[in-house]
Amino acid sequence: HAGALRDMIPNHILQLLSLIAMEMPISFGADDMRDEQVKVLRAIRPLHGEDINHNVVRGQYVHGTVDGKDLSAYRAEDNVDPSSMTETYVALRLAVENQRWAGVPFYLRTGKRLARRVTEIVVEFKKPPFTPFRETTVQSLEPNQLIIRIQPDEGISLRFVTKVPGTLLKLDEVDMDFRYADYFGRAPATGYDRLLYDCIRGEATLFRRADMVEAGWLPIAGIQEAWEHS
């Protein structure tokens, strides 16, 4: 009955957002890191009223196939109410209202039974205000992207546009790709392994502080209330 919004956004995904958007901490100590993260969470503009309709999408998966396997719709699953409104997918556009991130949208998406299982962060760079390609056959340039893959294929990619060899002016996207498994010759540990290990040795950096938990629920409180009364 929880749904994708409450299950994933306030804790897992907003923690990733805060790590990406925070200012540089004075050290890698647990409280120094979390002080900067909570500043980001408190700066997220909560959504209310019409803003929810313009910035949030929810849905449920329907009958389909994955890797050739026939899968039921969510409402046809065992122990699920056929009229359930519990969302299995949610997408949001959030704004972090501070000096660094003013005007920069943050898009969050999570769901079950999507086309592929992936956890990643995509940083899309702004297009330059002026480009010398404006009078060439290249009509537009795709923005460069920094892609941080967290699971299951841990690594980092830099995606950018380059000229295709030859006499014609033709551009194409290419990836500079780094995979942890290829470089270090071993598969990374799971997130739970790391958390259990940190818990045993008293390392609190990856654990959320009470003020972070409270700040993480503020951006979605209005969404929950609106959906409960819809």
Mean pLDDT (10-residue bins), the chain, 230 residues: 93 94 94 96 95 96 87 93 94 96 96 90 87 67 90 90 82 88 77 87 90 94 91
> Which pLDDT score is estimated for 201?
93
| pTM for the full predicted model | 0.88
**Contact yes or no for 177/208 (Cβ under 8 A):** no
> Which pLDDT score is estimated for 139?
64
In 3D, which of 112, 113, 94 has the Cα closest to residue 104? 94
> Which pLDDT score is estimated for 54?
96
Would residue 12 show up in a list of annotated catalytic residues for this protein? yes
Task: Pick the catalytic residue from 1, 12, 48, 63.
Answer: 12
In 3D, which of 228, 227, 215, 171 has the Cα closest to residue 21? 215
> Which pLDDT score is estimated for 67?
79
What is the number of H-type helices and E-type strands within the chain?
Answer: 7, 9
Q: What order do you get walking across the sheet with 89-95 strand by strand?
A: 56-59, 89-95, 105-111
Tokens of 138: 């290249």
In 3D, which of 56, 8, 10 has the Cα closest to residue 230? 56
> Which pLDDT score is estimated for 1?
83
Query: Of all residues in the chain, what percent are helix, strand and coil, respectively (each to 5)?
Result: 35, 25, 40
Instruction: Give the burial class of 153: count Cβ atoms within 10 A of its Cβ; 0-12 exposed, 13-18 middle, 19 or more buried.
Output: middle
Cβ-proximal residues to 219 (8 Å cutoff; 6+ apart), any chain: 9, 10, 14, 41, 44, 45, 46, 47, 94
